[in-house]
Amino acid sequence: MEFGYWGIRGLGAAGRMMFAYAGVEYSDVQYTDPNEWFGVRKPELLKVNPMINLPYVVDGEVVITHSNSVLEYLGDKLGIDGFKDDGEKYRYANAQVLDEVYDLRNALMQVVYPFHKFTRTAEEFEETCPAHLSTKVPAHYAKLEAWMATRGTKFLVRDASPTSADFHAFEMLDQHEEIAKKRGAPSPLAAFPKLRAFYDEFKGLPRLASYFASPSFTLPMNSAGAGAWIV
């Protein structure tokens, strides 16, 4: 399979982690020159999928795009989700977590990228970041903490093993840990013991050791070329 995204962690990290977890070889296409995407590969893939965007997966004649759809496809294709055996309640729980985590990601993008007109300079980012960490992040974390308490599971969807939603959830938790650490702020997970336990459990998964030791994990979190204040 071909997995395509910018040469950053961003929305690509969860997919790359899933390939590592499944132990499946793939073509990791990391675009660093915008023309490679907009001028070459995107026009090719538009012929197959008119909605094509980054990230995407090409699996033979199948072309899947958009973040949550890509993760759900990989969860099924790589045998990570296995919802056919676990019941439909897991599939829809997974979809809800994916959407909630994407809301958290969008809240972060408001303060990371200047095209939202909320944070226009690096100086403004340093001014708006504390409020993001102290108000918006806890609001999202509280939902995920209560969700875990309601379900009574070690991961966000089930107890036995992670599903596709867990990979994006971990990535967003990890990005916020790094953001806080670089600014000498307390861990955003400090007040959320269940999320903290999930974060530690996920990062300690033996099947992900190769990913955490790889260059993919040390890629910039966001795109400096697009004006991000965190790299």
Neighbours of 209 (CB within 10 A): 12
For position 87, what pLDDT does the model report? 62
pLDDT tens readout for residues 183-202? 899 999 999 999 999 999 99
Task: Please tell me the predicted confidence (pLDDT) of residue 227.
Answer: 66
- Nearest by Cα to 9 from 184, 157, 196, 228: 228
pLDDT value at position 110?
86
Most confident of 102-111, 180-189, 196-205: 196-205
Cβ within 8 Å of residue 150, ≥6 positions away = none
**Average pLDDT estimate for 92-113:** 93
- ∠ at Cα 107 (123, 221), nearest 5°? 65
Mean pLDDT in the chain? Answer: 93
pLDDT at 96 over 80: yes
- Nearest-angstrom CA–CA distance, 26 and 55: 14
Lowest-pLDDT range, 51-65, 125-139, 152-166?
125-139
Task: Render pLDDT for 49-72 as a digit per residue (tens, 0 to 9).
Answer: 999 999 999 999 999 999 999 999
pLDDT of residue 130: 87
> CB count, 10 Å around CB of 218?
9
How confident is the model at residue 230, as a pLDDT? 65
CA–CA distances in Å: residue 45 to residues 22, 71, 123, 162, 208: 26, 19, 39, 31, 30
Task: Give the pLDDT band of residue 111 (cuts 50, 70, 90).
Answer: confident
The reported pLDDT for the residue numbered 91 is 92
In whole angstroms, how far apart are CA 185 and each of 112, 154, 204? 17, 27, 24
- Predicted structure pTM score: 0.94
**What is the set of domains in the chain, with CATH numbers?**
2-77 (3.40.30.10), 83-205 (1.20.1050.10)
Span 4-58, pLDDT tens digits: 999 999 999 999 999 999 999 999 999 999 999 999 999 999 999 999 999 999 9
pLDDT for 231 beyond 60: no
Task: Give 224's pLDDT tier (boundaries 50, 70, 90).
Answer: confident
